[in-house]
Structure 1
Amino acid sequence: MFYPLLGLFGLCAGITTLLFGFGGGFFAVPLLYALLLTSHGAGTEVAQHAMQIAVATSATLMIFSSALATWRHHRAGSLRWDLVRPLAPAIAMGALLGAWAAPYVASAWLRWLFIAYLLLSLLDAWLRPGFLRAGEQRLDAPGNAGTRL
């Protein structure tokens, strides 16, 4: 029953990502967390680190999906490397710090941090022009001329 549920979660995560442009982790992390707790029992080592496992699984999938998206945008000529390259050191440092801190952060704290992240992301999507309502700003970047935000 464990693997069919994982497949169903993956399908739902893919659908929410397709519909909204984000949401796979929003959907999959809580469900994977609950599945790990119920399938392994409350007192087990897996249950004690279920949130770390769920977040790490989501982060691993993001690495592959972002690499694929980057490659496709690069091939299409729509990637502005001059804007991407300066972000690489900060992304790498954040990944290293997160991997180092993961064993030291209590699962309860991680759950609350994830909930705060969800709320902030949803609030940002709701308030930012272009997600729920059309913005008035235009992009003048090469390859995006005339595109509305």
Structure 2
Amino acid sequence: MLTSFFSLLFFGCLTGVTTVLFGFGGGFITVPVIYGVLTATARPGADAMHVAVATSAAVMVVNAVVATSAQWRQGRLRSAYLWPLAGFIAIGACAGSFAATLVGGTALRLLFTAYLLVTITDSLLRKGFLSVAHQIPAKSLDRGTTTLGGMGIGLVAAALGVGGSVMTVPLLRRRGLLMAEATAMANPLSVPVAVAGTLVYALAPTAASGAGQFGYVHVPAGAALLVGSLPTIAAMRRVTGRVPDRVHSAAYVVLLLVVLIVMVTMGI
């Protein structure tokens, strides 16, 4: 158990780094990590994948709120891109979280992996992510993107426990925003996903619930991750904006590739 705690603590620190630099509230790091730890330590019959997704959502609530507060004080958030997109993301997130409780763990793992693969391919092959011709001012979001796009982001993100940053960052990037701006706004846009997901998963009836769990949310694992992530977010907040834009966008894709390789290697 002590080894598991220190593993979660270490990856919590890594989650703090990715929250600040890439707008990941934790999902792409915490889902594979929690799944691996629970698979190794949980009792037979425990639904490790659903618990991993649910716990990831709970961790994201805290990480995203803390990062959003810091970025707001630093003037990196642009309200025109946050509302009403956040409201439609919340609507989709409620539906996505509920749908995920009805899907088997194997199907959820395959969907998570497929989501990663599609995102990486899109970022590499379609123009506008690795480098952009910045608009002055940047292009605004149209009504269809805000409504249907927002609900789609919430639906997929909440179902997979990933916060939506891997859809909102490319979306804002292709509107001409700098990488530092796009990743900063991914955090407040992840809050409605994380809140909706946490509530649905925590209240969902499950036979897999054990000691230290609220529904699917594994409180000890989430707490260990937060012990590592929160101090790291505080330490890293001054780094955002200093990384060259092209390096920042390339590092974003590299991180997704690493997570995909880890997931395939672990068979999750």
Give the structure-2-normalised TM-score. 0.44
- Deviation for aligned residue 1:110: 0.5
Alignment partner, residue 61 of structure 1: 59
Following superposition of structure 1 onto structure 2, how do residues 29-108 of structure 1 map, counting pairs within 5 Å? Answer: 29-41=31-43, 43-44=44-45, 46=46, 49-108=47-106
- Deviation for aligned residue 1:104: 1.1
Q: Is the alpha carbon distance of 1:97 and 1:19 closer, same or farther for their aligned partners in structure 2, counting shifts above 3 Å?
A: closer
Give the unaligned 5+ runs of structure 2: 139-176, 180-268
Give the unaligned 5+ runs of structure 1: 142-146
- Deviation for aligned residue 1:18: 6.6
Q: Is the alpha carbon distance of 1:120 and 1:20 closer, same or farther for their aligned partners in structure 2, counting shifts above 3 Å?
A: farther
User: How many residue pairs end up in the alignment?
Assistant: 139
SS of the residue aligned with 1:85? coil
Higher relative contact order (CA 8 A, sep 6+): 2
Q: Take 2:106 and 2:20, find their aligned partners in 1: how far apart are those partners?
A: 30
Is contact 2:16–2:63 with CA below 8 Å preserved after alignment? no
The percent of aligned pairs where both chains have the same amino acid is 38
- Deviation for aligned residue 1:36: 0.6
Is contact 1:28–1:58 with CA below 8 Å preserved after alignment? yes
Residues 1:21 and 2:22 aligned together: yes
Residues 10-57 of structure 1: CA deviation (Å, up to 9, x unaligned): 233344x1796256422321121121111114x32x2xx211111122
- Deviation for aligned residue 1:113: 0.8
- Deviation for aligned residue 1:79: 2.5
- Deviation for aligned residue 1:80: 2.5
SS of the residue aligned with 2:56? helix
Q: Take 1:21 and 1:52, find their aligned partners in 2: how far apart are those partners?
A: 24
Q: CA RMSD in A?
A: 3.0
Query: Which region of structure 1 is more displaced relative to structure 2, 55-64 or 70-79?
Result: 70-79
Give the structure-1-normalised TM-score. 0.72
Runs of 4+ in 1 over 4 A off after TM superposition: 128-131
> For the pair shown, which has the larger CA radius of gyration, 1 or 2?
1
Is contact 2:19–2:63 with CA below 8 Å preserved after alignment? no
- 112, 118, 121: which one pairs with 1:120? 118
